[in-house]
Structure 1
Amino acid sequence: MGINRRAFLARTSQTGLGVALTGSLQGLLSAPTAAAQPSAGFTGYGPLVDDPDGRLALPEGFSYRIVNEAGKTSLYSGDPCPGVHDGAAAFSAPDGNVLIVLNHEVRGGPDDGGAVPHRRGYTWRDDAGGGCTVVKTTPDGELIWQTAVLAGTSTNCAGGITPWGTWLTCEENERDGHGYVFEVDPVDLRANRNPQPIRAPGRYRHEALSVDPDDLTIYLTEDASDPSGTVYRWTPPAGFRGTSGALNALDDEAGELAAMACTDGSGNLVDDLDQASEIVTVYSVRWVPVDDRDAQQRSLRTTEGITRAHKLEGAWWSDDGAYVVSSYSDSHRGQIWHYDPRAATLTLTTVFTEADGETVEAPDNIVAAPFGGLIVATDGDDDNHLAGVTAAGYAYPIARSQMGSEFTGPTFSPDGTVLSAGIQQPGILFAITGPWQRAGDQQSAGGPQGFITGEPDLPRDRDRARGFSEAAPHGEATARRRSASERSCPLPATTPSGEPVVVAWSPR
């Protein structure tokens, strides 16, 4: 089911390289034969200028700061910063600074390069090297301190934020008893002691997730093959209230876990999302309950009658639904889909192509920008990018990696002025600043998820997020405030090893 591509182009104002926008839907439009036409309003920041230091190519007027680097900056414990950076999210610190939760996608053991050091009380298993760190920065991205908060997990790829202000990190590994979701509290670091897997959303090759802020349903992607992975929906049990630690308190079989099954306009099962090529292809969705969610007998994705896709990657809640990324579709060019839970439909919004002379393909992590539109990190075979998409329908490059490794974990600071993103190998976290568009300069396509970029009906920082009452229904805050000692992070506001913060390059 879908509309003819030529008819769709005729109905939009954008027929060049970039984005197709229809209603609240937006995406990079695959139109290789269409003639480029001028775009009204904001069209990006201009061409990228190569970095003489060989790190990030940026538009003129932008600059980057190296926040941390594997093996070179130090944790508060004195251990070297771990590497293999991946998914990340930024949160407001109670003192006005910024807390970034950072995944480390280490597949091997604790002695592997880039492994997260095993802190006593913060380690799940002794044989795994993945995990998370919390990085505290100033509002402009200068490192204050960093510390390990979760170790002994495996292949921590992406994850997602919660409406109650925590980070859910995902293991993209289902071998040897791995394959779970873990919760990380960025503010109350002591809440991360004695980490345990959240078993209710199932055990499989987790990639990313997004949470519906209204009913706290979680949508999760699976990056897998033989067979390919799918999208899962975990529906919380009646009475579930979102607070830090509440997911761990649930029984292993709490709620319902189900896998996505799409049907086309003729009622036929869509076995692979890759078969769609037309923008605004729309499928009906039903959810197939999954048994044996701990996958003791077989992989959950072997469930009959479901829809799969090769390399399902990032997820983000926006436009009253869940965006999910299918990275390997169309020979790794990639797609973005939007699931509307009210209509029970899945719509193809994005097929990737060029943007302002840069080849943008193989989408991975995705995030909504505070000024509207989307930001996408790519993981392709050639150049990798951070690319933006305006709500007016135009794609534009923000950065190109000159380091031969993928971009990971794009996340904006709570005030929307700093875009943090990682380069996975060897593991560098950058803070990118520049003349960002102001909120309202482009029409928002539904607004970014949660309080991270200040959506008005959700808490902007954890001081307020901690006001959620266990007795309150989903998403309703009380006026209760925590004491200053509980709200503060129990670490000094100094960099333990004293390394200088590097402001590496600003094209002029």
Structure 2
Amino acid sequence: MDRRRFISTVAAGIAGPFAGVACVSHQGQAKPVRAYGPLRPVRDLRDGEVRLHLPDGFRYRSFSVAGSKFGDGSTVPGRHDGMAAFAGPKGSTILIRNHEVNGPVGAFGDKKRAYDPMAGGGTSTLRVTRHGEVIESAPSLSGTMMNCSGGPMAWRAWVTCEETVNGPDVGDDFSGGDNSKLTRKHGYLFEVPVGRAASARPIRAAGRFAHESVAFDPSSGALYLTEDNFGFPSGFYRYLPPKHPVLAGRLLDGGRLQMLAVKGAKRKDLSVGQKRGVTYETTWVDIDDPDPDFRGRPSNDEAVQAVGKQGREAGAAIFSRLEGAVQHQGTVYFVSTQGGATAPGDEAPDGFGDGRGQVWGYETWSGRLKLVYESPRASALDLPDNVTVSRRGTLVLCEDGDGANYLRGLSKAGEIFDFCRLEPVDGDPGAEFAGSTFGPGGHTLYVNVQARQGMSLAIWGPWERGPF
């Protein structure tokens, strides 16, 4: 199919207002949903260890563990995070995976190809079977930092996001790394094509801020961007490239960055608890200086807010920690990790925002924003992070909670259910799920465990038994 037909076909397939996931009360459903049945411990087919609790009939295999070797002999870095799956040859799957490594620890892979030879983050590309057996693996982008999430693109590419503004021109961040050792500015989007190494050229016009995720709208060519500012307000952005990326065959720099605002309500605070079924009419405000040139080495806290402050001064809406985003049938679903009201009995988490999580939906063609789900308590949904969508329109939410961490489903009927629980990792209470993505045909759900020794996993089983 040629590119123009691709765009018109996708546009014609957009469904009605907020098709897919339904909005539910922030009181939650009356009783818990067990869409696939109770969870039980299941042994990893790679080594027999119990890492996941899954419904009956589901199996999994872990692969590409941090510290193991790529096919070229270099070492797999840790901090596995956002990921996307693409169809590969002979029924295989190509995975492009982020590594959220911070600090001037040195680039992995070939340092000559690195964006910044001192930075330790980036992406790896793997070709695997639908049962998690690695066929090929290699670094695909290195020398970036804090590659948290990103998004798959329709022209067979992954756009990876740096969740930082570190660089030699700003003060050190909370991790204590010495930014003066860095050679380049960070905080950008980078494109990673399927099948070849990335160019390591940042998309500067898409902003320098704490990028988290990106969702592509094939109808307009816009990229919708989330921002995860842990201690400060966050914004929902869109980047309008100078040419439709499908027609260009790649993502071009030099476009326009905008930030979402609620019509008639300047600086509307959407981080707090919301009414059931609330819908807002929205507009967009321009960011005049998306790639600020810092002078005098300002503090990291000041620098990380520089782009967002421009939008809020123009009236942009306030969110709490925007993380995962995914586009489905004309709606971009995105997650506010600490959005909502604090439930009785729950402690407010650290950072900006007192809730346990919200899921929002933005209709790209009508400009309406709607609350899809707000967590009523930590036991229902606890600090959602990355998100993906199944073929049936059910969302898969990766938790980053304080206790047990789950993969939760949010069905089209607005029901939250448990699908998978992470077995506690010895000595690593911060281990969490990240980067969930369904492979071609929906046979396999690939997901990462971000831990001190991170890894990827392939999960398969009787999906037809439930809403995935």
Change (3 A) 1:29 1:74: farther
Q: Which residue of 1 aligns with 2:440?
A: 414
Residue 391 of structure 2 contacts residue 442 of structure 2 at CA under 8 Å; is this kept in 1? yes
Whole-angstrom distance in 2 between the partners of 1:62 and 1:342: 38
Q: Which residue of 1 aligns with 2:115?
A: 124
Whole-angstrom distance in 1 between the partners of 2:259 and 2:58: 42
Q: Which residue of 2 aligns with 1:274?
A: 271
Change (3 A) 1:174 1:200: same
Structure 1 length as normaliser, TM-score? 0.73
Q: Which residue of 1 aligns with 2:463?
A: 436
Change (3 A) 1:134 1:271: same
Q: Give the AA of the match of 2:449.
A: I
2:31 corresponds, among 33, 36, 47, to 36
Q: Give the AA of the match of 1:284.
A: E
Q: Which residue of 1 aligns with 2:250?
A: 246
Structure 1 residue 28 displacement after superposition: 6.5
Whole-angstrom distance in 2 between the partners of 1:371 and 1:352: 22
Residue 105 of structure 1 contacts residue 157 of structure 1 at CA under 8 Å; is this kept in 2? yes
Structure 1 residue 245 displacement after superposition: 6.3
Tell me whether 1:150 sits opposite 2:145 in the alignment. Answer: no
1:397 corresponds, among 418, 428, 443, to 418
Q: Deviations over 1:192-236 (max 9, x none)?
A: 2x4111112111110001011112111100111553120111122
| Structure 2 residue matching 1:200: 3-state secondary structure | helix
Q: Which residue of 1 aligns with 2:226?
A: 221
Tell me whether 1:62 sits opposite 2:58 in the alignment. Answer: yes
Q: Which residue of 2 aligns with 1:427?
A: 454
Whole-angstrom distance in 1 between the partners of 2:86 and 2:129: 12
Higher RCO (C-alpha under 8 Å, 6+ residues apart): 1
Q: Which residue of 2 aligns with 1:310?
A: 320
Tell me whether 1:301 sits opposite 2:296 in the alignment. Answer: no
| Structure 2 residue matching 1:145: 3-state secondary structure | strand
Whole-angstrom distance in 2 between the partners of 1:135 and 1:332: 36
Q: Which residue of 2 aligns with 1:98?
A: 93
Residue 317 of structure 1 contacts residue 323 of structure 1 at CA under 8 Å; is this kept in 2? yes
Structure 2 length as normaliser, TM-score? 0.79
Residue 443 of structure 2 contacts residue 460 of structure 2 at CA under 8 Å; is this kept in 1? yes
Q: Which residue of 2 aligns with 1:236?
A: 241
Whole-angstrom distance in 1 between the partners of 2:101 and 2:120: 6
Whole-angstrom distance in 2 between the partners of 1:60 and 1:83: 30
Structure 1 residue 397 displacement after superposition: 1.2
Q: Which residue of 1 aligns with 2:345?
A: none
Structure 1 residue 23 displacement after superposition: 5.3
Q: Which residue of 2 aligns with 1:458?
A: none
Residue 44 of structure 1 contacts residue 395 of structure 1 at CA under 8 Å; is this kept in 2? no
Q: Which structure 2 residues correspond to residues 80-95 of structure 1 after superposition, within 5 A?
A: 80-95=75-90
Q: Give the AA of the match of 2:266.
A: L
Residue 155 of structure 2 contacts residue 246 of structure 2 at CA under 8 Å; is this kept in 1? yes
Q: Which residue of 1 aligns with 2:190?
A: 182
| Structure 1 residue matching 2:308: 3-state secondary structure | helix
Whole-angstrom distance in 1 between the partners of 2:406 and 2:194: 27
Structure 1 residue 429 displacement after superposition: 0.4
Listed as ranges, the gaps of 5+ residues in structure 1 are 1-20, 445-508
Q: Give the AA of the match of 1:389.
A: L
Residue 361 of structure 2 contacts residue 371 of structure 2 at CA under 8 Å; is this kept in 1? yes
Structure 1 residue 293 displacement after superposition: 1.0
Residue 28 of structure 1 contacts residue 352 of structure 1 at CA under 8 Å; is this kept in 2? no
Q: Give the AA of the match of 1:96.
A: G
Q: Which residue of 2 aligns with 1:348?
A: 371
Whole-angstrom distance in 1 between the partners of 2:100 and 2:70: 17
Residue 118 of structure 1 contacts residue 152 of structure 1 at CA under 8 Å; is this kept in 2? no
Whole-angstrom distance in 1 between the partners of 2:274 and 2:26: 9
| Structure 2 residue matching 1:300: 3-state secondary structure | helix
Structure 1 residue 56 displacement after superposition: 1.1
Residue 325 of structure 2 contacts residue 332 of structure 2 at CA under 8 Å; is this kept in 1? yes
Change (3 A) 1:244 1:133: farther
Whole-angstrom distance in 2 between the partners of 1:227 and 1:25: 29
Whole-angstrom distance in 2 between the partners of 1:29 and 1:83: 38
Residue 110 of structure 1 contacts residue 126 of structure 1 at CA under 8 Å; is this kept in 2? no
Listed as ranges, the gaps of 5+ residues in structure 2 are 1-16, 44-48, 168-184, 295-302, 341-353
Q: Which residue of 1 aligns with 2:153?
A: 162
Tell me whether 1:133 sits opposite 2:140 in the alignment. Answer: no
| Structure 2 residue matching 1:55: 3-state secondary structure | strand
Change (3 A) 1:58 1:354: farther
1:387 corresponds, among 395, 408, 425, to 408
Whole-angstrom distance in 2 between the partners of 1:270 and 1:282: 16
Residue 257 of structure 1 contacts residue 290 of structure 1 at CA under 8 Å; is this kept in 2? yes
Q: Give the AA of the match of 2:333.
A: Y
| Structure 2 residue matching 1:50: 3-state secondary structure | strand
Structure 1 residue 343 displacement after superposition: 2.1
1:288 corresponds, among 285, 288, 307, to 285
Q: Give the AA of the match of 1:201.
A: A
Q: Which residue of 1 aligns with 2:5?
A: none
Q: Which residue of 2 aligns with 1:463?
A: none
Residue 28 of structure 1 contacts residue 353 of structure 1 at CA under 8 Å; is this kept in 2? no
Structure 1 residue 342 displacement after superposition: 2.5
Displaced runs of 4 or more, over 6 A:
none
Q: Give the AA of the match of 1:129.
A: G
Whole-angstrom distance in 1 between the partners of 2:230 and 2:285: 20
Query: What's the % identity of the aligned pairs?
Result: 35
Whole-angstrom distance in 2 between the partners of 1:93 and 1:86: 21
Q: Quick check: 80-89 or 227-236, which moved more? A: 227-236
Whole-angstrom distance in 2 between the partners of 1:102 and 1:282: 34
Structure 1 residue 341 displacement after superposition: 2.5
Tell me whether 1:336 sits opposite 2:359 in the alignment. Answer: yes
Change (3 A) 1:23 1:186: closer
Change (3 A) 1:309 1:393: closer
Whole-angstrom distance in 2 between the partners of 1:63 and 1:98: 18
Residue 173 of structure 1 contacts residue 205 of structure 1 at CA under 8 Å; is this kept in 2? yes
Whole-angstrom distance in 2 between the partners of 1:28 and 1:421: 27
Q: Quick check: 195-204 or 43-52, which moved more? A: 43-52
Whole-angstrom distance in 1 between the partners of 2:365 and 2:18: 18
What is the number of equivalent residue pairs in this alignment? 398
Residue 85 of structure 2 contacts residue 95 of structure 2 at CA under 8 Å; is this kept in 1? yes
Structure 1 residue 36 displacement after superposition: 2.9
Residue 122 of structure 2 contacts residue 142 of structure 2 at CA under 8 Å; is this kept in 1? yes
Q: Give the AA of the match of 1:184.
A: V
Change (3 A) 1:226 1:371: closer
Structure 1 residue 255 displacement after superposition: 2.4
